[in-house]
Amino acid sequence: MISKIIIIACWVGVIATGVVLRFDQLAARPFHCDEATGARITARRMESGQGQFDPQHFHGPLLSSLAIPVCRARGETGWQGMTKGTLRLVPAIAGSLLVLLPFGWRRRWGDAPMLLAAALLATSPLLVYYSRMFIHESLFALCGMLALMAVLTKPRWGVAGVCLGLMFATRETFVISVIAWLAAGALVVLGNRAWLTRAAVVAVWRTYRLPVLLSGLAATLTAGYFYTDGFCHLQGAVDAVRTFFVYKTGAGHDKPFFYYLDLLTVPHKSAAIWWFGTPVLLLALLAFGASFRRDALEAKWRNTVRFLAYAAAGHLLIYSLIAYKTPWLMVLPWAQVCVLAGFSVAGMAARRPWWQAVLLVLAGLALISQFRQTRYATGRLASDARNPFAYVPTRRDIESVEAWLPQLAAKAPGHTLEPIAVIGNGYWPLPWYLRAFKTIGYWQDPPPNLADFPLVFYVPDSAAALMPQLATTHTPLPRGLRANVAVTLFIRNDIWRAWMQPETP
């Protein structure tokens, strides 16, 4: 009874830790440019009542499909009423459910391995950070790990297909996961080729041919439902296939081959803290190595561990070969590494005392270091370029501008700052911070009547290009938009003078 109480307390503590880390001060960090574009897509779908998938530039519709009812439940029915906290609820919930998944495997693999896996998932700075952003990765990782659980435990009745369909409805990169998993499965089969007799192959085919067909059908229908907006717009299904041929990645994200390995495993000191996931990788490698011992546990344990190891390595290899790299693409692969690392303590009671001590020290170091990094990554360094997970972070300057503009409007002649002009490229997430205003024009080149606009936001290589045009009519105020990207706010002189007018007693 005492041991059961301890186990229950451990599970409650791990899950509670994962939830708190994902929900604490969820709306505090400035909105990332990718979050802002996702919010705009969600708002357009909510306001128009229908979706339109863009196969060239954006990911699948599942994230916005889930965010819309959450926004409506909280009374946020359009672009102007949306809030960061509400939009981030969807990935935060998905990230919390990801922590809960190993609990479903506890009867099959034991409490100790799954508790460690859940604890590593709960405290991982990479997983926690992107569970707090309104982007697709946390949802994608949840669907991916659900698909893995279905395949490795109960592959029948098409459940794995539903999960694969949800992955496709989240991101087109689900094909990378499918390729990595198929390759991992092939390697596991190759490692067990001794039992690959004709009779065994025929038996497997007869057992799993119907589940495979059901999964394929379920995946197609699930993904098709979301891409076609409930089978109302069949062009969405065509575009879902077209995206593999016409999708365009943004410029400036090319990285070297070893970028991900360096990001996740090589210790780096930045902002007075060491960033590293080396202990987690070591635990995963130990679990993989243990599967080759002569006294290893039963075959299903060995095959599962090897499959997870091959799958994680396959993901890493494929993503490393692609020049376009962003940290959040590692969320699903790293979730697999965390679960694999949990298996390092499987059968620990039968190990020698010194080996048990090594595993306990590594597990403790992994959890303590991860928790510390996570608190920094989601706290004071949440939008700081020194945080390796804060990729192209939004400057806090722009948050202060959003709060200040209504005060400025109250002092302006006519109590309005509209129409507003935004000049230049790469202005996201600026539209999010201007969503309270209705009349905004976006131009790559300034219009002839630019001097008439009360406010002009300029996102240039150099602000000097607009200076002569607005030198006598506007007052420039430099601000930060994103890391290493400035924005200049030009305020028409009559509004600026009204703002600078001292208050009368």
Residue 40: name the closest of 434, 487, 481 by CA. Answer: 434
The one-character DSSP state at 444 is S
Instruction: Give pLDDT < 50 ranges for the chain.
Output: none
Please give the model's pTM, rounded to 2 decimal places.
Answer: 0.92
Work out the angle between the directed axes of helices 89-100 and 2-23 (0-180°, nearest 10).
160
CA 63 to the chain's CA centroid: 11
pLDDT in tens, 259-289: 999 999 999 999 889 999 999 999 999 999 9
Provide the pLDDT for residue 462: 60
Contact 164, 60 (CB under 8 A): no
Phi, psi (rounded to 5 degrees) for 354 = -65, -35
| Spatial distance between the Cα atoms of 134 and 493, rounded to a whole number of angstroms | 38
| Spatial distance between the Cα atoms of 76 and 87, rounded to a whole number of angstroms | 10
| Spatial distance between the Cα atoms of 119 and 308, rounded to a whole number of angstroms | 18
Phi, psi (rounded to 5 degrees) for 183 = -65, -40
Contact 323, 252 (CB under 8 A): no
Instruction: State how far the alpha carbon of 418 is from the alpha carbons of 106, 109, 151, 456, 459, in Å.
Output: 59, 62, 56, 10, 19
The one-character DSSP state at 77 is -
Q: Specify the residue for token string 């909510």.
A: 46
Supply 53's token pair.
């998938």
pLDDT in tens, 75-130: 999 999 999 999 999 999 999 999 999 998 888 888 999 999 999 999 999 999 99
Helices marked H in 53-173? 62-73, 84-87, 89-100, 106-109, 111-123, 125-131, 137-153, 159-170
| Spatial distance between the Cα atoms of 180 and 163, rounded to a whole number of angstroms | 16
Per residue, what are the HEC states of 324-384?
ECCHHHHHHHHHHHHHHHHHHHCCHHHCCHHHHHHHHHHHHHHHHHHHHHHHHHHCCCCCC
| Spatial distance between the Cα atoms of 328 and 332, rounded to a whole number of angstroms | 9
CA 454 to the chain's CA centroid: 38
| Spatial distance between the Cα atoms of 189 and 196, rounded to a whole number of angstroms | 8
CB atoms under 10 Å from CB of 420, counted, come to 18
| Spatial distance between the Cα atoms of 311 and 152, rounded to a whole number of angstroms | 13
Mention every residue, 6+ apart, whose C-beta is less than 8 A from residue 188.
Answer: 303, 306, 307, 310
The one-character DSSP state at 503 is P
